[in-house]
Amino acid sequence: MYELVQGNAPFTGNNPKEIGSKIIARKIKYSPKCTPEYIDLVDKILQSDPAKRIPLIKVFDHPWVKFFEGKYNLKKQPSV
């Protein structure tokens, strides 16, 4: 999601150790055009501690995702 919106990976570096350090430090750069809802969702997805990470099922109920449901008139299909 971050790459689709921003056009690059959230954590980059010259080697795996450098990338790993950025992941642990959670140094994420956002475009000034990013909405607070988008930043909130990305922060929740990119939590390094799995216990603190947003569950996938809750991503679909996040305000940023709900905005696009309304904007494009998307409706969840009933489960079969």
* The pLDDT value given to residue 34: 95
Scanning the chain, the segments in alpha helix (DSSP H) are 2-6, 16-25, 36-45, 56-59, 63-71
Write the pLDDT tens digit of every residue in 9-48: 999 999 999 999 988 888 899 999 999 999 999 999 998 8
Q: Is the pLDDT of residue 76 over 80?
A: no
Q: Is the pLDDT of residue 7 over 90?
A: yes
Domains and CATH numbers, the chain: 2-71 (1.10.510.10)
Q: How far apart are CA 14 and CA 12, in angstroms?
A: 7
Mean pLDDT of the chain: 91
Q: Is the pLDDT of residue 75 over 90?
A: no
Q: How far apart are CA 53 and CA 80, in angstroms?
A: 29
pTM, 2 dp: 0.80
**What is the arithmetic mean of pLDDT over 47-71?**
92
